[in-house]
Structure 1
Amino acid sequence: MRSGQGAGLTLTEIATILDMRGEGLEPCTHVHDLLAARLHDVRTRQQELAALGTELETLIRRSVRLDPAECSDAEICQILSGPRR
């Protein structure tokens, strides 16, 4: 079984859950909502990382085709400056 921190909950969130239990409340709905929000955050981050991975692959493929001798001082690096027109 994973601990609260292992599930991505912060120490503050865990403390709130413990406080709720200490007050005689059942924190299950609150925990469910926290975990659902964390899952949403993780999935959003996965999509962002996948998009970043695709962009990096594109830059790497472009870098193989470029000639460093063609970089100008104004461009600094044609890999990062975008495709030539």
Structure 2
Amino acid sequence: MPASSTTDRLAFIRGAQGVGLTLAEIRSILVLRDSSQAPCAPATALIDHHLKDIERRLAELTETREELPSLAPCAAATDPAA
């Protein structure tokens, strides 16, 4: 594999990890590409899956952020001696 191909491959791996793909998911895309198959559909499915997961986590975090301010006064008013 030429050096530029290796560099491009490593850049792809780092970028894919950076957006949350696992090494197994990245490998599956690379295996398809290495076998001269277009990995577009599988990559799109992985991206969609990760996007839905991020949206779910964001919704959970938003809900938690909205609940926390109401807990602070309760925590401050709690008497540890009681």
Which bin holds the TM-score, normalised by the shorter protein? 0.7 to 0.9
> How far 1:55 moved relative to its partner?
2.1
**Alignment-derived partner of residue 51 in structure 1:** 63
Q: What is the alpha-carbon root mean square deviation over aligned residues?
A: 2.1
How do residues 19-38 of structure 1 correspond to structure 2 at under 5 angstroms?
19-38=31-50
- TM-score norm. by structure 1 comes to 0.70
When normalised by structure 2's length, the TM-score is 0.72
Alignment of 1:73-84 (within 5 A): none
2: CA distance, partners of 1:70 / 1:54:
29
Number of aligned positions between the proteins: 70
1:68 alignment partner in structure 2: 79
Deviation per residue, 1:50-70 (Å, 9 max, x gap): 111222211113234x25167
**Cα deviation, residue 10, structure 1:** 0.6
Query: What one-letter code is carried by the residue in structure 1 that aligns with 2:66?
Result: T
Stretches of structure 1 that go unaligned for 5 or more consecutive residues are: 72-85
Structure 1 runs of 4+ aligned residues shifted over 3 Å read: none
CA distance in structure 2 between the partners assigned to 1:50 and 1:33 by the alignment: 26
Structure 2 unaligned spans of 5+? 1-11
The residue number in structure 2 matching 1:5 is: 17
